[in-house]
Amino acid sequence: MKSVMLFFCLLLCSTALYAQDPQGEPPLSKKSEKGSFVLELALGGEGLKNGPNALDLMLRDPAGKKVEGAEITVTPWMPLMGHGVWEKPVVTERGGGHYQVGNVVIIMSGLWELKVTVGTGEKQDRAGFSFYVAEKKEAPKEAVEQPRDGFQRQVASYSVPNVTLLNQDGQKVSLKELV
C-alpha cells in the first residue's frame, strides 16, 4: 500500500515539474496519428491570440524518451474557412527534445488547427491541435493611429487578376476565388 501511495506522489510531483510552461499553464499533450511521438505543446499565458505567437513544443517517443534532431513543421490552418496563413512558422531546436515555434501569426478569430508534422530518419508522423482564438478587442480611442504628416488614408477598389497560386498543401488555388 505504501509503495502505491509513493508511486502516486512521485507521479504528481513529476507531472507538476515538467508539465508547466513558464507562465504556469499546463501543456496540451497528444500522441501523433501513428503513435510514433508524444507532443506537448505549451502556449503560455492566454493561449493563441490574433497576431504573432510563440509556442514551446516538447517531443518524446512513446516510451517517454526526449527526441532530438527532429524535422518539425507547424502549419496554422483555419478549417471552417479553408485557409492557412501567409507567414511560415519557424521551428528552432533548443536541445533535450525541446523545440521553440515562433512566428505563428494568427490573422483572425475563430477555430484554428496547428498541424504539426514530425520526421526523424525513417519515422514520419503528424498531429493536430485545435484552438479557438477569441475576437480581438477594440483598441482604446487614444491608441488609434493618427494620420502622419504628408500621408492620407483612402479606400480604393481594385480588380483581382486571374492568377493561380499554390497553398501550403501544394494545391492550386485561384486568387479570384479567394477574394
* CA-to-CA separations, 65 to 21, 58, 59, 62, 81, in angstroms, rounded: 19, 11, 9, 7, 37
The strand ranges marked E within 25-163 are 28-31, 38-42, 51-60, 71-77, 90-95, 98-106, 110-120, 123-133
Closest CA to 112 of 85, 63, 78: 78
* pLDDT single digits (tens) 3-60: 444 444 444 443 333 333 333 445 689 999 999 999 999 987 678 899 999 999 999 9
3-state secondary structure of 15: helix
3-state secondary structure of 127: strand
Q: pTM of the predicted model, to two decimals?
A: 0.62
Closest CA to 88 of 103, 68, 109, 67: 103
Domain 18-136+160-178 superfamily per CATH: Macroglobulin (MG2) domain (2.60.40.1930)
* pLDDT single digits (tens) 65-117: 999 999 999 999 999 999 999 899 999 999 999 999 999 999 999 999 999 99
Query: Rounded to whole angstroms, how far apart are CA atoms 41 and 47?
Result: 11
Residue length, the chain? 179
Q: Left if phi > 0, otherwise alpha if psi is -120 to 50, otherwise beta: which for 126?
A: beta
